[in-house]
Amino acid sequence: MKNEIFLDNSSTTKPYDDVIDFMSQISKEVYGNPSSLHTKGIAAEREIKKARQLIADSLRAQSNEIIFTSGGTESNNLAIRGYLNPNPRKGKHIITTTVEHPSVMEVYQSLAGKGYTVDYLNVDNDGIISIDELKEKINENTALISIILVNNEVGSIQPIEQLVRIKNQINKNTVIHVDAVQGYGKMEIHPKALGIDLMSLSSHKIHGPKGIGAIFMNQSLKMSPIIYGGGQESMLRSGTENVPGICGFGKAVEISFANINNNHENVRKLKEIFVNSIMENIEKFKIISPINASPYILNVAFEGIKAEVLLHHLEEKSIFVSTGSACSSRKNIHSRVLRSMGVTSKYIEGAIRFSFSHFNTEEQIIKTVEALVDILPRIRKKPKLTN
């Protein structure tokens, strides 16, 4: 444990000790069902209220604009289906991008055959959408646009402000859904000021527990649930609340936001040291993440290797990384995101995602580069000898 170097923080993060302690305390002492009318229920409801307020404050939103879900995947599903289902007259055209997380992409693809026309915005070599293409695609029939804020594979940050400005010029009624799972808790995002109507969040990316997330929802939207039952979470997400998870999420938000600028600066420095050290010590590589990407993510392709082979060699040295994104890396397919950015197969095959946390240290970064210097020459394909 002590010598582990965890550089896979975009797939998940280690929970803060304070989060674990708080969840343990809540599980032991506040185990009532929040719907129960007795004091045990009221105590649980009170803890949920506190967590909801913490999350609302972190977004400069109201507590009734926050709905708890089981994580980013459910939040994305609820945002899209929960808005489109009760609003059939708002238009049958929907827009997303080619670089979304599968929990958005797959929902859009499933809607394509069901009466919706779907447009996918392309991205440039930096993974960024084109505002001109957006202008061409958006029309008076566009009901919804879903866009990822920080890309989970490369860290590109989409120009949300510009997107909202353009959509307001063309169709004020188009609803904007932002998947902020990789940005939340790492940069300030104020959905109301930005004109975002729906925003997906996840706890386990910010040192909170897994299996809990939330959605910010503009109160003027008509929404319907995708999970039916007892009517919890303002009738939008039935099921007995995950009280320890919600409280752990609230605690992680409290800690993360108290240190948001420091953490960002520390991680930015780590990434800078990492990039400089790679440039000085390693040859034949390509940095795929754009220069102005989130500091928390660095995608680098090493020539002449298979990413999975490198991943396992690093693992032998207790260094943990990802190939492409964790969600698609078990499927043996080339990254859709990297292909959309025009990265050639030669590089995609050797692409590794290093993703950071403020728990990482400079020493860990140096050790990782030393490991790369040791491993790469051993696993690189040798050029064929000719007579």
Ligand X SMILES: Cc1ncc(COP(=O)(O)O)c(C=O)c1O
Distance CA 318, CA 155 (A): 24
Q: Which amino acid does the sequence have at 37?
A: L
Rounded-to-integer distance, Cα 53 and Cα 298, Å = 33
Q: Establish if 146 lies at the interface with ligand X (CB under 6 A).
A: no
264 close to 157: Cβ distance less than 8 angstroms: no
Residue 112, φ and ψ in degrees, nearest 5: -55, -40
Of positions 48, 148, 196, 311, contacts ligand X by CB under 6 A: 148
Binding-site size for ligand X (CB under 6 A) equals: 15
Give phi and psi for 213, each to the nearest 5: -155, -170
Please identify, among the stretches 132-140, 179-187, 287-295, 372-380, the one whose residues bind ligand X according to the rule CB under 6 A: 179-187
- Residue with the closest Cβ to ligand X? 72
Instruction: Kindly tell me the burial class for residue 67, based on how many C-beta atoms sit within 10 Å of its own C-beta (0-12, 13-18, 19 or more).
Output: buried
Nearer to ligand X, 70 or 171 (CB): 70
* 187 scored as a contact of ligand X (CB under 6 A): no
Instruction: Tell the smallest beta-carbon distance from residue 233 to ligand X (Å).
Output: 16
* 68 phi/psi in degrees, rounded to 5: -80, 140
Compose the 101-120 pattern: x for residues touching ligand X by CB under 6 A, - for all others.
x-x-----------------
- Of positions 15, 34, 72, 350, contacts ligand X by CB under 6 A: 72
185 binds ligand X per the rule CB under 6 A:
no
**Nearer CB in complex with ligand X: 54/297:** 297
Considering the candidates 227, 309, 327, 379, report the single residue annotated as catalytic.
Answer: 327
> In whole angstroms, how close is the CB of 204 to ligand X at the nearest point?
6
Interface with ligand X includes 202 (CB under 6 A)? yes
Which residues neighbour 86 within 8 Å (Cβ) at sequence distance 6 or greater? 222, 223, 224
CB of 276 to ligand X, least distance (A): 27
Site track 316-335 with ligand X (rule: CB under 6 A), x = hit: -----------x--------
Could you say which of 71, 191, 244, 295 contacts ligand X (CB under 6 A)? 71
Q: Rounded distance, CA 33 to CA 186, Å?
A: 32
Active site residue 247: no
- Residue 6: strand pairing partners: 320
Which is nearer to ligand X, 208 or 225 (by Cβ)? 208
Asked if 182 is part of the footprint of ligand X (rule: CB under 6 A), the reply reads: yes
- 152 binds ligand X, rule: CB under 6 A: yes
179 near ligand X (CB under 6 A): yes
DSSP string of 102-139, one letter each residue = HHHHHHHHHHHTTT-EEEEE-B-TTS-B-HHHHHHH--
Token pair in block for residue 43:
């105590």
Q: Which stretch binds ligand X (CB under 6 A): 83-91, 167-175, 177-185, 315-323?
A: 177-185
How many CB atoms neighbour CB 99 within 10 A? 29
Inter-residue contact 92 to 309 (CB < 8 Å): no
Name the residues that contact ligand X, by CB under 6 A: 71-73, 76, 101, 103, 148, 152, 179, 181-182, 202, 204, 213, 327
**Which of the residues are catalytic?**
327
